[in-house]
Amino acid sequence: MELVNRTPFAAERTVVPDREGRDVLLTVVKCTYALGKGGRLEPAPKQLPVQAVDDFYGEPGESSVRWESDLAVYKPATDVVVLGHAYPPRRPEPQVQVALRVGKIFRVLTVFGDRRWRKGLGLSSPEPFAKMPLTYERAFGGTDRSAPDPRHHEMDPRNPVGRGFRAQRTGLPAGEGFLPNIEDPEHLIRSPKDRPPPAGLGFIARSWQPRAALAGTYGEAWRKNRAPLPPEDFDNRHHNAAPAPLIASPFFEGNELVELAHLSPRGTLRFHLPGTRPRVFVGIARERHEVPMRFDTLVLLPDEEQAVMLWRGHRRLTPQDMLQVEHIEVRQQ
């Protein structure tokens, strides 16, 4: 299937099975914009390619996802993700509140410098910092294998790579290990026994809860009746990779207002998404069909002053169609 891309953006196409095993033509258009003079987004000179596989900050399975594959089969809502750092207004400072607004989505997080528990004295004062990476390694969570008996080892299934988590029968001394740098101001950690929800703005791994639970039940009934198709109770929301507060339903239109506070060295960034959308056409047996495209992923890169918009479209293919698909054409609106 020839891909004819008449836009400055990256695009990819592939055939994937739907949840019933039927062939679906999936087309993804990835638009990288740069913030120009006057606060307007313009197509970036260098376009980011379509990400075929997950990219991690470190070792896969032992670190958080930096950028999830762009080739999700289907997303029922728009993901909003921020990849970057927190910047106190007068650097360095011991803490700062960062804020994100996109359309109707609004999220505030408190970012602290490094802290520890002090035995009998509570939390240590946060150390001043100039910038803080907003990764899940800095949020609440982690894995605690400090107990001599492996049966007492535990991990936080919501974020196994974070900091601050302690097993119920931990072997860690009172002051051992760092506390989370990134917290929800409505769920601040108060004691070593607290297990607040991990707070972040990045991609959630498929194997982490609560996302993993949406993948359904892979038991004996699935093996006998459905494998290799997804189980009957598979929930399409599993394909959404943003934190729950950053998932917008219905889909965004692509013209929303974006505001980022203390997520850029410049302080606050404010701009509108461009309001343009790609159009995709597929030629089958000399007939031209338009593929509806949905804006289902926004990745904000405030350090680079860029915004990446992903549009995804589907067309079901019959066995006859598969033999007669001639090309896929991507155009600008």
Q: Is residue 226 part of a domain?
A: no
- Sorting pLDDT into bands at 50, 70 and 90, what band is 117? confident
* Residues 60, 150: Cα–Cα separation, whole Å: 23
In this predicted structure, what is the pLDDT of residue 230? Answer: 94
* Token pair recorded at residue 218: 């892979």
Mean pLDDT of all residues in 227-243: 96
Domain-terminating residue out of 201, 232, 257: 201
In this predicted structure, what is the pLDDT of residue 139? Answer: 98
Q: How far lies 103's CA from each of 96, 106, 210, 255, in Å? A: 23, 8, 25, 9
* Token pair recorded at residue 12: 């990819």
- Sorting pLDDT into bands at 50, 70 and 90, what band is 118? confident
Residue of 332, 311, 329 lying closest to 70 (CA atoms): 311
Mean pLDDT of all residues in 170-199: 90
In this predicted structure, what is the pLDDT of residue 297? Answer: 98
* Structure confidence by residue, pLDDT tens digits, 98-116: 999 999 999 999 999 999 9
Q: Is residue 140 part of a domain?
A: yes
Q: For the purposes of burial, counting CB atoms within 10 Å of the CB of 37, is it exposed (0-12), middle (13-18) or buried (19 or more)?
A: exposed
* Structure confidence by residue, pLDDT tens digits, 187-212: 999 988 899 999 999 999 999 999 99
Residue 324: DSSP 8-state: H
In this predicted structure, what is the pLDDT of residue 216? Answer: 96
Domain-terminating residue out of 201, 233, 261: 201
Q: Is residue 154 part of a domain?
A: yes
In this predicted structure, what is the pLDDT of residue 79? Answer: 98
Q: How far lies 54's CA from each of 68, 156, 167, in Å? A: 4, 21, 29
Mean pLDDT of all residues in 82-110: 97
* Token pair recorded at residue 16: 């994937």
* Structure confidence by residue, pLDDT tens digits, 209-223: 999 999 999 999 999
* Token pair recorded at residue 174: 């009172």
Judgement on whether residues 119 and 178 belong to the same structural domain of the protein: yes
Its domain, for residue 294, covers: 1-70+241-327
What is the pTM for the complete model shown?
Answer: 0.95
With 90 as the cut, is the pLDDT of residue 269 above it?
Answer: yes
Average pLDDT over the chain reads: 95
Judgement on whether residues 51 and 140 belong to the same structural domain of the protein: no
Long-range contacts of 206-210 (CB under 8 A, 24+ apart): 206/238, 206/241, 208/157, 208/158, 208/159, 208/160, 209/157, 209/158, 210/158, 210/244
Residue 129: DSSP 8-state: B
Secondary structure (3-state) at 199: coil
In this predicted structure, what is the pLDDT of residue 19? Answer: 87
Q: Is residue 34 part of a domain?
A: yes
Q: Is residue 174 part of a domain?
A: yes
Lowest mean pLDDT among 127-141, 160-174, 253-267: 160-174
Judgement on whether residues 131 and 156 belong to the same structural domain of the protein: yes
Strand partners, 328: 3, 282
- Sorting pLDDT into bands at 50, 70 and 90, what band is 27? very high
Centroid of chain to Cα 163: 20
- Sorting pLDDT into bands at 50, 70 and 90, what band is 150? very high
Judgement on whether residues 151 and 255 belong to the same structural domain of the protein: no
- Sorting pLDDT into bands at 50, 70 and 90, what band is 38? confident
State how many domains the chain has. 2
List the Cα angle 240/242/247 in 5-degree steps. Answer: 75
Judgement on whether residues 88 and 179 belong to the same structural domain of the protein: yes
With 90 as the cut, is the pLDDT of residue 172 above it?
Answer: no
